Chains A and B, each alone.
Chain A
């Protein structure tokens, strides 16, 4: 489960390696959002103000607890930014862990239950030191709610946590 108002159902085991290519094989969005449901009386995509950022989350298997440190005051639209994360033991959330590697995928769901409607237009750089990870080169090119999927690899397990972030104030 996620801390805050996130639902554990969002964290299903769909987060496999090579996520973005995998999306191509995922069910078409039409199965998630019937075209008729998007008629003119239907949805308009959310805007930045609709979502509060996830600042901490457990991985779906509860193996790790991850915090987003120093959330930017405002995420810039169509510009690069950096985030810092700290990783802790899921059973002992104050106990830092190390010796892991991290992958980050980002995209927007736009109402899709599984996968992303589209990904990010950048390949972020990730550096890990101790229990902290610095992710630079993130870039959100569209307003609305973005999902960052952090995958922790410890050599034996692959654990995934979602962070939702709003774009953008400017």
Chain B
């Protein structure tokens, strides 16, 4: 768990879980021999499933970013991550919604930048394992993801010309840029360009007019530097990975047959794990080492009162297709690569209405939950999955509700407690301190 108070919380929960499950543990552990070897408690199929979840494994390669694994780029990106000069009010940085002390979330139902946004802020821990980014999958790389909040009027409220000027005027950032990416495109340092400008803003607004007044070469140079800043941020975010949670330690012990380490998670958590990979069918969508299929599902969640309908990935598909910073675009370092190839197979947007990305369950102790932050606790989330057919599932919703949701059976209170005990074993050990704050210099 990356929260500073996380270890204590896990310990407290483990103790509580042990007490809670004491009466049930005898039934779960049929004989004394079984206590010595957890393999006996899982079927072969369950064990195979468990092993698919750990270890986390190597990061997927991102060929679209030639500095994705360059430590110098990561340090520059780390500085950019904590930099507030790129926002409209000078107070917002990436950290605002992705706080290291909150497992890189913000603890809010809906993210708040310079104004209140429209969705919950997901964690960026282990995000590099995801094939698509944003809850609606509107970007296909971490670097292109990192660019969009800068110009979102509800997040940073900035624009790419403002950001270029901010970097140009800061000798340390300029030096870091040159070190990582080579020559700055403008010999004069701070380019003789308008103070503000971006494409895609309101067509008759001053930013759009300023952007349209630039020559194609000028626009390309600005976009090139802008994309490079995103690539540096990705290099930093690729270092924000865990994989040493109590669950990972437990699986390692299982693999080795190290019975002395099999108590790293509680009996309740083990029962929850068995449910997770078995009868509860959580495994279907929360699959693989990152506990996510990386894909998009419509759970049939009704639009919250007073909120606008959210089209989810159906809108994301149009956006990724139009994004000049996508993997097939001019600023990708592998425009013919595997990531770019995926774009030709994007699903029909009509089938994706109301669908959102399956979140990873690692570091899940980060309420609130769901794309709109409607649930404050994991208990509420499980209430939805377990009993939703009698309640929220039948409410009005956009698009086609995926029937996979119905595969989660009714779960008793004890089973829900077990599942939650298991889920909380997925909290990573704290990251090194020097990764959780702005570096001394870019």
* Interface: A30 (CB within 8 A): yes
* Interface: B344 (CB within 8 A): yes
The B267-297 residues at the A interface (CB cut-off 8 A) are 275, 278-281, 283-285, 287-288, 293-297
- B342 A80 Cβ-Cβ under 8 A: yes
Given contacts A39-B409, A137-B344, contact A44 B278 (CB under 8 A): yes
* Interface: B402 (CB within 8 A): yes
How far apart sit A131 and B411, CA to CA, in the bound complex (Å)?
A: 51
| A10-35 Cβ-contact flags toward B at 8 Å (1 or 0) | 00000000001101100011100101
* Interface: A47 (CB within 8 A): yes
- A141 B295 Cβ-Cβ under 8 A: yes
How far apart sit A160 and B293, CA to CA, in the bound complex (Å)?
A: 29
Partner of A141, one of B294, B407, B409: B294
B317 nearest CB neighbor, chain A only: A123
* Interface: B380 (CB within 8 A): no
- A123 B278 Cβ-Cβ under 8 A: no
Interface of A is mostly: loop
* Interface: B341 (CB within 8 A): yes
Number of inter-chain CB pairs below 8 Å: 104
CB B321 to nearest CB in A, in angstroms, measures 12
B358 nearest CB neighbor, chain A only: A141
CB B142 to nearest CB in A, in angstroms, measures 18
Q: Which of B69-77, B199-207, B345-353 is found at the contact surface with chain A?
A: B345-353
* Interface: A157 (CB within 8 A): no
- A78 B288 Cβ-Cβ under 8 A: yes
A112 contact set on B, CB distance < 8 A: 403
The B371-423 residues at the A interface (CB cut-off 8 A) are 389, 399-404, 406-407, 409-412, 415
How far apart sit A168 and B404, CA to CA, in the bound complex (Å)?
A: 18
* Interface: B335 (CB within 8 A): no
* Interface: B45 (CB within 8 A): yes
- B406 A24 Cβ-Cβ under 8 A: no
A122 contact set on B, CB distance < 8 A: 345-347
- A137 B406 Cβ-Cβ under 8 A: no
How far apart sit A142 and B285, CA to CA, in the bound complex (Å)?
A: 7
B281 contact set on A, CB distance < 8 A: 44-45
How far apart sit A99 and B375, CA to CA, in the bound complex (Å)?
A: 54
Instruction: Identify the 5 closest CB pairs spanning chains A and B, nearest first.
Output: A137-B345, A117-B403, A24-B400, A29-B403, A122-B345
Which A residues lie at the B interface, using CB under 8 A? 20-21, 23-24, 28-30, 33, 35, 38-40, 42-45, 47, 49, 77-78, 80, 108, 110-112, 116-125, 136-137, 139, 141-144
